[in-house]
Amino acid sequence: MDMDSPALLLLLMSAVTWSVMARSPHQYHFVSEEKSWTDAQALCREQFTDLATVESEQDVGRLLQLAGDHGHSGEVWIGLYQDVQSWTWSLNQAAFYGEGEMGYSNWGHDQPDNYRDADDPECCIEMKDEGKGYMWNDIPCKFNRHFICYDGNSDSLILSNGTLSWEDAQRYCRTHHTDLASVRNESEQQQVSAILRASTWIGLYRDCLLFRWSDQSGSPFRNWSSSSPSPWGNCAAVDVTRGGDWYDRSCDLLKPFVCYDVPKVTHMQTMRVELKTDSQKDMSDPAVQAAILQQIEKRLREKGLPAGAKLKWREQEDGQIFSKKTEKKGMKKRSKRRSDEL
């Protein structure tokens, strides 16, 4: 760009607006009506955003304060729960599975049922002869079963002679072969069934202590009591009279609960910008506009623009983003200073 040729220089005027979305704090809402965890979740999602996500000591304090304000003592549901359907293969390499193969299943009648009279929760999967072939069943991982390993070097299945717990079987397969066998499709289901002689472990399991937030927050913050979590309770309750400690409880219990919502846009700001350009660029091209916006955003981030802020061009009345100005002496200096202010 030749700075000495004012005739070729255009000064473009426009405005950028940005809004900052509130990330925190969540606004908590206490609901005194007692409901099961699932019903509480449904109500929170209908009337607010979701069951409460608690992400810091500060959040624990706010929640206790709220329950206190409502004169409540005892336990309240929050949005933490165990997804009892979160089955995972021990051999956990995405490339090993074709489309849909990671989610293939061949459950037996009414399985998985996480049968509650068992000594332990049912978090590991055996293949069991149900009369019409070997079907999948969840049982406690500590049971001893035959097991079937997969060997990646020979691409073959190896059936054990003896029996082990699921974890010991996994360790054995990983030491001597590749891993416990996955069953990825109908053809492998038949292949495995054909060599089984008794109930046998395959590589499917779930982490019995893995809790997640109802709103899919990845927050790792936990405030468990010393006795929790156990593998038994699949939903988390806060005891507001015992310092806000968390306890894992049966999700069917009826309790008051805390929902949250997030205030929407909290802050919006508009900034006027002046740009110098040669006439080669088509400034009405959305790609050009986006590229310039990206540059402005980068500069603003360096100057402390909050991470949640979203920038966009403000359209003028004629639908255009930019309006043209002719360069005049004296303007040059001013516009330079403005761009430095970015």
> Cβ of residue 228: shortest distance to Ca ion, in angstroms?
24
* 171 and 157 Cβ atoms separated by less than 8 Å: no
Nearest to residue 74, comparing CAs of 237, 235, 275?
237
CB 280 within 8 A of CB 9: no
DSSP assignment of 155-179: TEEEE-SS-B-HHHHHHHHHHHSSE
Name which of 104 and 115 has its Cβ closer to Ca ion.
Answer: 115
In the complex, least distance from residue 64 CB atom to Ca ion, rounded to whole angstroms: 39
86 neighbors 170 (Cβ within 8 angstroms)? no
Nearest to 264 by CA among 27, 46, 21: 21
Report in angstroms how near the CB of residue 232 gets to Ca ion at its nearest. 16
Residue 21 burial (CB count, 10 A): 15
- What residue number has its CB nearest to Ca ion? 138
Nearer to Ca ion by C-beta: 136 or 322? Answer: 136
Residue 265: CB minimum distance to Ca ion, A: 49
Question: Which CA distances in Å does 220 have to 43, 68, 211, 231, 232?
Answer: 25, 26, 10, 18, 20
Which residues of the chain form contacts with Ca ion (CB under 5 A)? 113, 115, 122, 137-138
Residue 86 or residue 295: which is nearer to Ca ion going by CB? 86
Q: Which residue's entry shows tokens 């999602």?
A: 45
- Closest contact distance (angstroms) between CB of 128 and Ca ion is 9
> Is the Cβ of residue 122 or residue 248 nearer to Ca ion in the bound state?
122
Question: 118 or 265: whose CB is closer to Ca ion?
Answer: 118
